Amino acid sequence: MKLNKKNVRKIVTIFLIFSLLITKYSTGQLVNNGGVIMIQSGADVYITGGGTSFTNQSNGGSYGTVHSYGNIFLDGHWVNETQTLNSANATFNAGSGTVKFNGTSSCNLNSGGYAFFNLIIDNTAGVTLTTNSCRVDKAATLTNGIINTGSNVFSVEDYSTTSLSGFNTSNYINGNLSRRVTTGYASEEFASLLYTTSSTTTNTTKGSIINVTSTSNDPMINMQTVLSGFPYNPAVYKFVEVRYRVLSGTAGSMELFWCTAARPWADGGYRAVVGLISDGNWHNTIVDLHSFWTLTSDGSGNVPVIGFRYDWCTTDGVTMDIDYLKITGSPTDEYDFPVGTSSQYELAKIKINSSTGITHINSNFVAFNPPTIPYGNIQSGLSVNGTPITTILDYGYWNFYPNTGGTATSYDESLTSSGQTNGGSSADQHTVVKRADASSDWICSGTHDNATQSGTSTNPITAKRSSVNGFSHHAIGRSDLITLPVSLVSFKGKCEQNFILINWITSSETNNDYFEIEKSEDLYSWHLLTVVNGAGNSNELNYYQITDVFSEQTLYYRLKQVDYNGQYFYSDIIAVICNNTPSSPFYLQQTNFGINDNETELFLNLTKETYLMIELYNCLGQKLYHSNVHVFSGNQNILINYNPVAKGMYILVIHDKYYSQTYKIIRH
């Protein structure tokens, strides 16, 4: 089917319910001149023929309008413009449709200020943003070609970490990229708790404690609450968390439901059931939302969730206190920022741990032009692994900045540099550095882990740093390669009857002045235990040992080796545990496999509030489940859900930042 090449002179509505092929004419463009085009779901529109352009414009009082719920495939340019004689922009309503640039010649994109729903860039010659920035509300896929933004911005508005995908060394953003992000520990607490006994309905404000007593005339208590306009976003909200206690009687269970417009009191596959503990103590119960997050998407890619409901189902004579119920999220996932220049791909990754007011992170990569050594001033005394940082990798730096009013107090970052000519010959020469602006010194912020650096020389070099504070300019710093003065064969600690024995062995030493042995109880605060003289210069085995006072607390030790010239190097950290009881802040009391073959309830005892990673494996080592859970001091039960499993033995691993415990559990 072909469209007449004459421009549309009146308002025309075209409903496309089948695939439409629009072929290039001699003018090289298809123009919607004030008309209305409706592309229905399932319809495909192909605009083919070399550099063919699609122009959506207004004509006098008629506003060019396109409603897209299907797919548009375009070889050439996209122009959504303002007509000279009319100050109103032509309108592009992205609906739930997809626009794909699949030509082979360089093309321009002028959005006219309107967003795309899904956008695919599959043009090997690339796409250039002209006049306006480009916003993608759902998913941006970079299959082929570079997006050149100039002074404009390419923004992705969906929270999901996978909303921007497909990028690699040939497909990325040359210019400005903005991503909507989730930050820190998301929490949505219910504004009020609604509970019903018999015919009486009562409300209470959030945070207050309510008391409910059943009677002989009311054998079941249904306590219900709905969070209107609940943000359906599995990338943000992952857990239901409730704090309660049963003061008297024996409670039954708690039921959790999704509420939809079609089923305001949902059940069945939208429900999770959790048993209650009736011992008079406060309990925090956490349920993984994904265990019953089974709602299907509507035509616009959204799930019509209107709220969330929970029921308490108990027997007669039960008295309960409810402190709070809230929907929460695990710590933020890591977001990719595939930026670069016209010739080099410079990938960065950001994971925000805590922040205030951040909704977006903006980024770009700036090449040093002309490249001059030392690429800015380096703060005096700045070092990596005790060796001074002497220069910055010479291709350029990353610029990160949040939305107005946003502040990051802690985040982890990973930078991968390409195009440099001065990379170190060893990966551990590199670390992330930052500065406030071009006139400020490069400094180090946060924590450096030597094991996370990779790459050397002119190959891609990746440097990582955690718990960084504040956004600004970021780059990779490099130290000069220095041969380690001491070859450490072993460094160990063990418990004796009344003391702790620490020993280490070296196979060679060069200009080694002395060792400092440092001790910590929490891996954060370190203090000097003692000093031991080194061997100076030696090519023989040297044996060292010291003793420390006995303690049932877990203790950590590290060596600080100091040269005659004052340079120093740290060893790996060792832990010494001298008690026979679990030193971990958590231990598993009991596991119950549910009636179904896809759930297990864990009963934990915890000595402090923390985050736990829970993982379940089969006997082949295949991971069946993993989740990061926020837990509190005291007894707590957690329901985990996974794909159905057969009878047999499984391995449960529970760990936090410092401790790990492994259990064998049997499903009968």
pLDDT at 314: 54
Dist. CA 537–CA 512, nearest whole Å? 7
pLDDT at 103: 83
Amino acid at 273: V
**Of 148, 180, 212, which marks where a domain is finished?**
180
Sign of CA dihedral 506, 508, 514, 516: negative
Do residues 176 and 33 share a domain? yes
pLDDT at 164: 95
Beta strands in 482-525 (DSSP E): 486-495, 499-520
Do residues 160 and 307 share a domain? no
Contact 487, 516 (CB under 8 A): no
Do residues 549 and 459 share a domain? no
Residue 208 falls inside a structural domain: yes
**Of 149, 180, 211, which marks where a domain is finished?**
180
Q: 582-612 pLDDT, tens per residue?
A: 456 777 766 766 556 677 888 787 888 888 8
Q: The domain that contains 613 carries what CATH number?
A: 2.60.40.2550
pLDDT at 491: 87
Whether 34 shows a pLDDT value over 70: the answer reads: no
What range does the domain containing 601 cover?
586-667
pLDDT at 173: 98
Do residues 296 and 344 share a domain? no
Highest mean pLDDT pick, 43-47, 370-374, 539-543: 539-543
Do residues 62 and 120 share a domain? yes
Backbone angles phi, psi at 302, to 5 degrees: -115, 155
The residue among 315 and 40 whose pLDDT is bigger is 40
DSSP string, 522-558: SSS-EEEEEEEEEEEEESS-EEEEEEEE--SS-EEEE
**Of 422, 450, 479, which marks where a domain is finished?**
479
Tokens of 158: 């969906």
pLDDT at 644: 64
Q: pTM, whole model, 2 decimals?
A: 0.57
Do residues 195 and 323 share a domain? yes
Whether 197 shows a pLDDT value over 50: the answer reads: no
The residue among 342 and 320 whose pLDDT is bigger is 342
Whether 470 shows a pLDDT value over 80: the answer reads: yes
Q: What is the mean pLDDT of residues 255-282?
A: 63
pLDDT at 123: 92
pLDDT at 4: 35
Q: The domain that contains 499 carries what CATH number?
A: 2.60.40.10
Q: 413-427 pLDDT, tens per residue?
A: 999 999 999 998 888
Q: The domain that contains 210 carries what CATH number?
A: 2.60.120.430
pLDDT at 382: 86
Residue 4 falls inside a structural domain: no
Do residues 167 and 24 share a domain? yes
Residue 161's SS3 state is helix
> What average pLDDT is seen over the chain?
75
Sign of CA dihedral 230, 231, 232, 238: negative
Do residues 112 and 157 share a domain? yes
Q: What is the mean pLDDT of residues 120-130?
A: 93
User: What are the residues whose beta carbons fall under 8 Å from the beta carbon of 522, sequence distance 6 or more?
Assistant: none
Dist. CA 14–CA 425, nearest whole Å? 63
Q: 367-403 pLDDT, tens per residue?
A: 997 665 558 889 988 888 777 898 999 999 999 999 8
Whether 518 shows a pLDDT value over 60: the answer reads: yes
Residue 236 falls inside a structural domain: yes
pLDDT at 219: 32
Do residues 163 and 20 share a domain? yes
How many domains does one find in the chain?
Answer: 5
Residue 521 falls inside a structural domain: yes
pLDDT at 200: 44
Dist. CA 85–CA 60, nearest whole Å? 6
Residue 35 falls inside a structural domain: yes
Do residues 459 and 522 share a domain? no
Whether 52 shows a pLDDT value over 70: the answer reads: no
Dist. CA 527–CA 529, nearest whole Å? 6
Backbone angles phi, psi at 404, to 5 degrees: -55, 130
Residue 443 falls inside a structural domain: yes
Tokens of 566: 């004052």
The residue among 120 and 376 whose pLDDT is bigger is 120
Q: Read off the pLDDT band of 302 (50, 70, 90).
A: very low
Q: What is the mean pLDDT of residues 40-51?
A: 72
Residue 2 falls inside a structural domain: no
Nearest to 151 by CA among 174, 167, 169: 174
Q: 134-188 pLDDT, tens per residue?
A: 999 889 999 999 999 999 999 998 877 889 999 999 999 999 999 988 765 555 5
Q: 603 pairs with which residues across the strands? A: 590, 637
Residue at token pair 């990028």: 167
Per cent of the chain over pLDDT 70 is 67
Residue at token pair 């929460």: 328
DSSP string, 82-114: B-TT--SBPEEE-TT-EEEE--SS-EEEE-TTP
Q: What is the mean pLDDT of residues 644-666?
A: 73
Per cent of the chain over pLDDT 90 is 23
Residue 212 falls inside a structural domain: yes
Do residues 164 and 264 share a domain? no
Residue at token pair 């496309």: 16
Residue 162's SS3 state is helix
Dist. CA 34–CA 542, nearest whole Å? 87
Q: Read off the pLDDT band of 216 (50, 70, 90).
A: very low
Do residues 523 and 605 share a domain? no
Q: Average the pLDDT over each of 185-189, 279-283, 335-339, 410-414 and give the range with the smallest value.
A: 185-189
Dist. CA 181–CA 93, nearest whole Å? 24
In this structure, the number of other CB atoms found within 10 A of the CB of residue 636 comes to 23
